[in-house]
Structure 1
């Protein structure tokens, strides 16, 4: 198993027990899904919820495509193209935790020596925030990624990304790190170099795109909060970027991430709520309130080999209120909680049981051909609303998280697929996280899930 758990704390155990949301008698077995939520909309709706914390720094979070997006208009990729890119992303994550590859857990090819390589992140990442960088602050639209540590911005005036590059010479607070600075050393030997006595970062991605530039710091504005000394890469040489965002904000678990950088201020805790669809809004909160009121809490797992990622342990799955007959040992490899992967990957044994039970509850609808990696699809033609079985994830300790209807169906298909073999690490994708406030309390090594948060 790639993930290791943290020794239990008595106080933490009490908090988790107190936060447990029971799912016994009276549990709903069906949900109503509006088919309009499966189609692109033209108007952005007002946010439905607010973060649970009023003490942290909160910024709006939006899907990169759709009427709520602050990013420049770009043709949205097709459903099949999104899933093709998603396969690249998931494949990378799973290889990082594979015990079958040579090297015992981390693929040893040249393509993955750079820790921040993620497959095809500029195309797979789907959620963006708007922040201010520099003094005076310049608005920057950045994709967020819990599977990345190094944050960076386009600073090259010849950038092909279609954005206005950040110019550090116009900021009164920008400073490049010297080559021997601790921040430079945290990038790792494979990810930094030296040029003109300044630290240079290097990020290379599996699709051939890459970015190289100066690693430095500047002031970061997150809503009404200001973070001094925000460390990021200023991209000068790049290839293959066409995402029309200004850069990437790393929310991973290793030293260079924004979460680690701001631990002294915000307590190494953050949360987000991914909206139900691209025509609604969510939020990202740094320094999220760690009170567990209203949250289902479960332990966070970490990997020494891949400290970037945050893991969780599934115990089972419920469909229509009934737990599937799948042994907890099937999930023993753990799952990565990932904002950048779209579709949840389950061990084949669990996925087969899930789709069988789900199909049984969908007999009133005609089936439809498979779409890319999704093989359990339905024909909702002429339907304004459809009735679907509930799906809930059961985490370690029997903690039940009920999924939103928009977290079950994606493009008229069941939004799950399999990992390929029962020994592979699973992935909890962003579709399943929709409308939940997902709390990453990294300091206490626990996850929290709060329903109907946005």
Structure 2
């Protein structure tokens, strides 16, 4: 039976670590080294112009992907692979085109390079593969399964095929064929297993279930595929028994690398923060387990608590609504009553004329005085309140952007359809060290100067 996926974006983050060596010792660690692709045509000639271009493209991408959010029921996957030691991982991420960031891994034996996009809102690791026919254009050569001595196609009665979650699934020639929707694109393929090699200075290899597939429509900026890190059943986290990870996102327009930590290194107490560490539970959705939900109960602008009913922010018994964290969506999304209250408060609080023209998909923009940038504008913090008196205070730069010169725009939009969740996107999380303790279902965060970690 066909299912629908709650995929909400592909604003993506690219970890660049090419490994083409033989399998290392069992206790090797992941080590990713990332550098900005400054030759990308998506970046302008000047830092200021590229900042505007980056923000505009990100807003368009976020809105298109959010419009495709659909709910899906999930099962549980049993039988994780043996844990891989990544506690000493040295991981950083940096922008890769307007769609995010990517990681180059070695696939197969011997390893073939594949550039995959990191996605916290999906669980399947997949790469384009010559086995399934013509593929979309990509930077690296397409993975050739015939050249890998460790490649194996999974049959329809395998646990990953039976218990995994896909938009559509069929049994073709005893192979587990799937189709997945990712916002504005679709990927198809067959489930398989192979050896994946990670690292630059330290290498580690692991046998993983993945999708040997192709991009059926849409684009991922000539990357090869996607690496899903959601809590879903086929996630690399589940397969490698990784119980926690953290990241600290530098402002996207700064083009600086951002650290990502796994295992024991994912500990906010090990790093300097600029504010206190707060911890809240990761909620269980009664229908699916593909996203990271948090108990948001209210919103304030400065000291003014907005008139938003708490039940408007809660997860409903049918699995709709709630609030999810997403490192790949640029803009935040709020359900209609919350968005309307925030928009009204912002229009009252920002002492600037409302723009009479729109900028891409931004819902509300103000005209800046001639020759003035957004850095000169005073704005109260946007405060997200969570159950248990925890709160996340967002400074101006975490909920406003300047997508074109002279235009100050609210980086928050109304959820695209009834039942869609609220989304705390990557702009809201910038300069915030966040930790996902998947094993204990807890989420911790603290304001941090991320480029100092």
- TM-score, normalisation: structure 1: 0.69
Bigger CA drift: 388-397 or 367-376?
367-376
Equivalent residue for 1:383?
372
Equivalent residue for 2:123?
149
User: Structure 1 residue 59 and structure 2 residue 32: aligned?
Assistant: yes
Mapped contact 1:348–1:419 kept (Cα < 8 A) = yes
1:244 to 216, 222, 226: 222
SS at match of 2:427: coil
1:339 to 324, 327, 330: 327
Could you give the per-residue CA deviations for residues 28-65 of structure 1, whole angstroms, max 9, x where no partner exists? xxxxxxxxxxxxxxxxxxxxxxxxxxx98463568xxx
Structure 2 CA distance, aligned partners of 1:422 and 1:202?
25
Mapped contact 1:213–1:236 kept (Cα < 8 A) = no
Mapped contact 1:161–1:241 kept (Cα < 8 A) = no
User: Structure 1 residue 212 and structure 2 residue 189: aligned?
Assistant: yes
SS at match of 1:202: strand
Bigger CA drift: 185-194 or 436-445?
185-194
Equivalent residue for 1:231?
209
Change (3 A) 1:96 1:204: closer
Equivalent residue for 1:277?
252
Using the TM superposition, give the Cα deviation of residue 138 of structure 1 relative to its aligned residue in structure 2, in angstroms. Answer: 3.9
For structure 2, which runs of at least 5 residues remain unmatched after alignment? 1-27, 44-52, 75-95, 270-275, 316-321
Structure 2 CA distance, aligned partners of 1:428 and 1:57?
28
Using the TM superposition, give the Cα deviation of residue 308 of structure 1 relative to its aligned residue in structure 2, in angstroms. Answer: 0.9
User: Structure 1 residue 429 and structure 2 residue 425: aligned?
Assistant: yes
Using the TM superposition, give the Cα deviation of residue 420 of structure 1 relative to its aligned residue in structure 2, in angstroms. Answer: 6.2
SS at match of 1:140: strand
Structure 2 CA distance, aligned partners of 1:324 and 1:176?
53
Could you give the per-residue CA deviations for residues 346-391 of structure 1, whole angstroms, max 9, x where no partner exists? 133322332333334421x443233344232123341253233222
Equivalent residue for 1:181?
158
Change (3 A) 1:213 1:329: closer
Structure 2 CA distance, aligned partners of 1:352 and 1:150?
36
Mapped contact 2:185–2:219 kept (Cα < 8 A) = no
Change (3 A) 1:273 1:291: closer
User: Structure 1 residue 87 and structure 2 residue 63: aligned?
Assistant: yes
Equivalent residue for 1:221?
198
Mapped contact 1:315–1:328 kept (Cα < 8 A) = yes
Equivalent residue for 1:202?
179
Structure 2 CA distance, aligned partners of 1:168 and 1:420?
40
Mapped contact 2:167–2:181 kept (Cα < 8 A) = no
Using the TM superposition, give the Cα deviation of residue 280 of structure 1 relative to its aligned residue in structure 2, in angstroms. Answer: 1.7
Change (3 A) 1:423 1:133: closer
Using the TM superposition, give the Cα deviation of residue 197 of structure 1 relative to its aligned residue in structure 2, in angstroms. Answer: 4.8
Change (3 A) 1:345 1:440: same
Structure 2 CA distance, aligned partners of 1:373 and 1:299?
32
Using the TM superposition, give the Cα deviation of residue 257 of structure 1 relative to its aligned residue in structure 2, in angstroms. Answer: 1.0
Equivalent residue for 2:394?
403
Q: 1:54-133 alignment to 2 at 5 Å?
A: 57=30, 59=32, 68-69=36-37, 73-75=40-42, 82-93=58-69, 95-96=70-71, 125-133=99-107
2:312 to 308, 315, 330: 330
Using the TM superposition, give the Cα deviation of residue 248 of structure 1 relative to its aligned residue in structure 2, in angstroms. Answer: 0.4
SS at match of 2:114: strand
Equivalences, count: 367
Structure 1 CA distance, aligned partners of 2:328 and 2:138?
22
Mapped contact 1:143–1:248 kept (Cα < 8 A) = yes
Structure 2 CA distance, aligned partners of 1:162 and 1:152?
14
Bigger CA drift: 77-86 or 147-156?
77-86
For structure 1, which runs of at least 5 residues remain unmatched after alignment? 1-54, 63-67, 98-104, 107-121
Change (3 A) 1:332 1:240: closer
Change (3 A) 1:201 1:218: farther
Equivalent residue for 2:412?
416
Mapped contact 1:404–1:435 kept (Cα < 8 A) = no
Mapped contact 2:326–2:424 kept (Cα < 8 A) = yes
Using the TM superposition, give the Cα deviation of residue 214 of structure 1 relative to its aligned residue in structure 2, in angstroms. Answer: 4.7
Bigger CA drift: 247-256 or 425-434?
425-434
User: RMSD over aligned Cα, in angstroms?
Assistant: 3.5
Mapped contact 1:176–1:214 kept (Cα < 8 A) = yes
User: Structure 1 residue 319 and structure 2 residue 301: aligned?
Assistant: yes
User: Structure 1 residue 160 and structure 2 residue 136: aligned?
Assistant: yes
- TM-score, normalisation: structure 2: 0.70
